[in-house]
Amino acid sequence: MIKSVDKENSTSIFNKNLELFVGKNYDYYRFIWNRLEKRKGTFSLNIPAFFFLTIWLAYRKMYRTLGIYLAVNFGFMFLTLILAGTPFCIVSLTVGFLLTAYMSFIFVFRANHMYRTFAIEKTTQIMNEYKKKDIERVLTEEGGTSMNSAIFMGFIVVTSIIANLLIML
């Protein structure tokens, strides 16, 4: 009986800490995550990620995932530029486009699951690494959202679009 109460108490504390980490829109994410758990699935549409994936990743501070996504995209862009004017250019462009489309599809339909995994891992890490008195502060600092990161990412996206349009001229 005591172990059950301890488990419920630790679950309650973890959920409160997870809420602190997620910050804005926690109720939305909790609803989506509960639906995913009931279905035992990982796929659900995230509308902001659908339209603005890189900006959404930056806004939610998922920098490692954003870095991987950008590295693959910029890698294929760079390869296409290197191969411009050669017979391999069209192959690189096609493979790059297909891989980017596939990655975008997977990211968009798994964004909620990926964010849940990220939030749980970071919350657990913070709870394990920091003293009890510092946990709340660190959760709110490292979690939540970053409008500055989203604006910076938006600037990079717009700049990339303009650069690509200029290259095509």
pLDDT score recorded for residue 96: 74
pLDDT score recorded for residue 158: 92
pLDDT score recorded for residue 8: 60
Q: Could you tell me if residue 2 is inside a domain?
A: no
Residues of the chain with pLDDT under 70: 1-9, 168-169
Q: Could you tell me if residue 13 is inside a domain?
A: no
Q: What are phi and psi of 7, to 5 degrees?
A: -65, -45
pLDDT score recorded for residue 81: 73
Cα separations (Å) of 15 from 26, 39, 77, 141, 149?
11, 20, 42, 17, 26
pLDDT score recorded for residue 1: 45
Q: Could you tell me if residue 91 is inside a domain?
A: yes
pLDDT score recorded for residue 45: 86
Q: Could you tell me if residue 17 is inside a domain?
A: no
Structurally, the chain folds into a number of domains equal to 1
- Tokens 């959202």: give the residue: 145
Record the tokens describing residue 63, joined without a space.
């920098």
Q: Could you tell me if residue 74 is inside a domain?
A: yes
- Tokens 């749980």: give the residue: 120
CA distance 154 to 162: 12
The candidate with the shortest Cα–Cα distance to 21, out of 71, 52, 62, 78, is 62
Q: Could you tell me if residue 135 is inside a domain?
A: yes
**Residue at 157: amino acid letter:** V
Q: Could you tell me if residue 11 is inside a domain?
A: no
Q: Could you tell me if residue 130 is inside a domain?
A: yes
Record the tokens describing residue 46, joined without a space.
């995230």
Task: Give the domain range for residue 121.
Answer: 24-168
Contact yes or no for 3/109 (Cβ under 8 A): no
Contact yes or no for 22/29 (Cβ under 8 A): yes
